[in-house]
A and B are shown apart, each in its own frame.
Chain A
């Protein structure tokens, strides 16, 4: 396995010397996300395998090329899970890609995000340096938190080699309830419920219907079912439904229109934007199918304290991510220069 690292480091050094852009790739399942990938392919899928997994430590350490499904299977076998319920977006998804994309699934608003679970990582920077940050323990404040900086940076700062993630036990009980509600009533309800000690683990609203998942101790789930009412979904269809939400397989997501991801304040009233909306994360995540002008969508999102991403769409000319203030942009460029001075990694994938 060391030979692979040496080879990757060599490729990076050569690319840096020649200033040839590299396109870091695990399984390619998230090629659609962010700026269009370009550059010579740097394949990290060969660097795979679980390095250490001790259930009582609540930590798993694995190589970046490890298939996400392999990680999830290993955890499930020991009654554990990735708390952020990551979308795979294809069977080829790898751990490295999951961390680099930083996308979390339905459980995000109630348990944690990819970045919350990231405890440590090993990476190669733009000079081919083999670096380790963070560690395999829950609490660690030695040095700046580069592990979390790398999470969601879309490979623009370095090649992730290994990652340590915090994991959680699988919930003992789970139930999904459904309610007929319009969007504004849903926003009011899910926010109010989140302020009560209820074991909510996901919400999804689409087309006048709110689906709400409860996860936890049987006693807690049962008590919440009694309290909330609603229509209980059967287990099989419920499990499939949440996978469909996570993987964008639900009918809502099958669309030729551009798909926007609006991450905003959870209590924001239904947004008056042309196009059909779908809502997750207790109101904090809104999907919008729309060919309305980017500027209109971005302005409305910013007013709601958040940011809009052109999640899926063919025309990325107006940019994928919400523009930043001049001060923030300058800082991003400084950080990019720090980790990747020759600008070889994933050009244009995150920063325009």
Chain B
């Protein structure tokens, strides 16, 4: 089942901060609900509330409908479910006891950070406890000399860099949601950002975790050094979508702030030329700090909101950022400029000051909200493909766009081949939902066929669980289930997310083969 991300992203972005206070209350209503609300079992609810009330203060235990309603979804708000109970612990000891209690009563637990996830990873369960880490807001310590920060999991991504700024340091991974998303959620999703080609994803920027298993056992993973004894559980927990353990502390690496940053805006008269320019830059031995692509539909959509001065007649623009010391930046900008010219750029602008650089980026950062402004609904995809397949993918998307009669904005992390096609639709128009669903599924299928993956950074959650059946075969899926069982034998921590059951895949396979025969016949054979 494919979900639809309603245009719920607040705009201007400042309003996103509402996420951090706990649960978001979205300004838009959703007309379509993929998951229908399953009613709560009142007796079960009483039982669990009584047990939790033994050690949780009243303010940390919510179960009245109006109190728990704000937690019914994450940023993939088409999927909604009222949780049976919401807990808002403030201490590790409370987290441990919540987990022990739920384990003893066999009640499933869904961890939740800031609820900005785009794949329904924090979607509650009707028979479950939602465990919010939102009150773990403390920056425990910053060690400027060792360049590390010890954080509670609810600390907002951007708050880390703000706190590190006085020491000339920052935290590199910068998802567009960084005003709101939590470091615990970042670890659980292995989040990326605009700069991960050069500086890596979350997994490359953390050193140590404290986490509790569903039985309430404390795991101290990683260390203050650069590696640790035994298996790399730090990597295994990163991106585990809350299925293995609840993260209660994260130690991150901080990097020195670069001396200078400059950005090139390059325009192209064909999207595929822009795609080729990306490959040419990398082939020239340059790893830009950021390398992002926006097509014409995107630049025209964002321009009225950000007044970035984008060349709106261009079929696509690239943003190529360089950072480092001043000499290095100017050297790299010169080299990138000549590669871009040789790749057929029709116009090249180099940011002359910080204000101009931020203006170049403003549109990129506002792309999601802008999609919500130009269309009643949009659906954000997250496939990653080898860069050499970019032109093919972009051609296929425009062909699919014609085929389904739906517009699709292309805006993405071009440097690492991570696409975010935004399919624009109107759920009020009969049939558009189904078409969008098929459109999205075809893009994901194509991502796999081109040697890529269905998700680069947003996670599988509930949204892409069926597409997992296309990317992995039964033996791999069984391995995932076994890894899960090694941490959580009874499958009580965030069950039903990230990894499909084999049964589900068998069902999906039947549907897929049936529909696939006619669905893919019109596609060019690659």
Contact = CB atoms under 8 A, between A and B. Distances in A.
B217 A327 contact: yes
A79 B285 contact: yes
Given A148-B232, A197-B258, A338-B479, A139 B219 contact: no
Interface stretch (B325-333, B361-369, B427-435): B325-333
A116 B285 contact: no
Contact of B487 (A54, A191, A220, A331): A331
A196 B229 CA distance: 30
Contacts of A141: 189-190, 239, 453, 455-460
A143 B499 CA distance: 7
Contact of B468 (A142, A152, A327): A142
A266 B480 CA distance: 35
Interface in A186-220: 188, 191-192, 194-199, 216-220
A169 B227 contact: no
Contact of B225 (A195, A305, A337): A305
B416 A284 contact: no
Contact of A324 (B201, B230, B283, B385): B230
B328 A263 contact: no
B324 A137 contact: no
Contacts of B257: 197
A140 interface: yes
A195 B230 contact: no
A337 to B, nearest CB: 8
B516 to A, nearest CB: 20
B163 interface: no
Interface stretch (A24-32, A39-47, A107-115, A248-256): A107-115
Contact of B476 (A133, A194, A265, A332): A133
Contacts of A338: 479, 482-483, 485-486
Contacts of A328: 219-221, 230, 233
Nearest to A116: B204
A100 to B, nearest CB: 12
A187 B195 CA distance: 30
Contacts of A142: 453-455, 460, 464, 468, 471-472
Interface string B320-353: 0000111110111000000000000000000000
Contacts of A264: 224-225
Contact of B226 (A113, A132, A157): A113
B230 A332 contact: yes
B40 interface: no
A130 interface: yes
Nearest to B256: A197
B505 to A, nearest CB: 13
A55 interface: yes
A219 B330 contact: yes
A217 B240 CA distance: 37
Nearest to B202: A141
B230 A136 contact: no
Nearest to A156: B231
A146 B478 CA distance: 13
Interface string A162-206: 000000111010000000000000001001101111110000000
A56 B451 contact: no
A273 to B, nearest CB: 16
Nearest to B282: A56
B68 to A, nearest CB: 28
A328 B452 CA distance: 34
Contacts of B189: 141
Contacts of A307: 223, 225, 227-229
B407 interface: no
B508 to A, nearest CB: 15
Contact of B324 (A58, A109, A157, A197): A197
Interface in A125-160: 125, 129-133, 135-146, 148-149, 151-153, 157
A220 B260 CA distance: 12
Contact of A138 (B280, B388, B417): B417
Contact of B203 (A148, A170, A267, A339): A148
Contacts of B324: 197, 199, 216-217, 220
A264 to B, nearest CB: 5
Nearest to B476: A131
B123 to A, nearest CB: 17
A317 interface: no
B339 to A, nearest CB: 12
Contacts of A335: 231, 483, 486
Nearest to A337: B486
Interface stretch (B25-33, B54-62, B131-139, B144-152): B144-152
B143 interface: yes
Given A137-B386, A138-B416, A334 B486 contact: yes
B236 A148 contact: yes
Nearest to A135: B453
B197 interface: yes
A265 B386 contact: no
Contacts of B169: 195
Contacts of B285: 79-80, 169-170, 172
Interface in B403-417: 413, 416-417
Interface in A305-352: 305-307, 309, 321-322, 324-325, 327-328, 331-332, 334-335, 337-339, 350-351
A54 B145 contact: no
A188 B455 CA distance: 42
Contacts of A145: 190, 203, 235-236, 238-240
A304 interface: yes
A285 interface: yes
Given A57-B387, A112-B204, A284-B226, A140 B232 contact: no
Interface string B278-294: 01101101110000000
Contacts of A321: 229-230
B479 A284 contact: no
Interface in A208-253: 216-220, 222-224
B436 interface: no
A287 interface: no
Contacts of A260: none
A188 B146 CA distance: 10
A263 B225 contact: yes
B200 A116 contact: yes
Question: Which of A133, A151, A199, A263 has the largest count of B CB atoms less than 10 A from its CB?
Answer: A263
B384 interface: yes
Given A139-B192, A306-B223, A324-B230, A55 B283 contact: yes
A79 B235 CA distance: 29
B168 interface: yes
B93 interface: no
A217 to B, nearest CB: 4
A129 B287 CA distance: 37
A168 B451 contact: no
Contact of A139 (B221, B226, B416, B486): B416
Interface of B: 143-147, 167-169, 189-190, 192, 196-197, 200-201, 203-204, 213, 217-221, 223-233, 235-236, 238-240, 244, 256-259, 279-280, 282-283, 285-287, 324-328, 330-332, 384-388, 413, 416-418, 451-460, 464, 468, 471-472, 475-476, 479-480, 482-487, 498-499
Given A56-B387, A146-B236, 20 more contacts: A102-B227, A113-B226, A115-B232, A131-B476, A138-B196, A138-B418, A142-B454, A143-B472, A143-B499, A145-B240, A152-B231, A188-B145, A191-B146, A195-B167, A197-B256, A197-B324, A220-B324, A263-B223, A304-B224, A327-B217
Which 5 pairs of residues, A with B, have the shortest CB-CB distance?
A305-B224, A219-B327, A148-B235, A265-B224, A334-B486
7 contacts: A54-B388, A113-B226, A138-B417, A141-B189, A148-B235, A169-B286, A335-B483
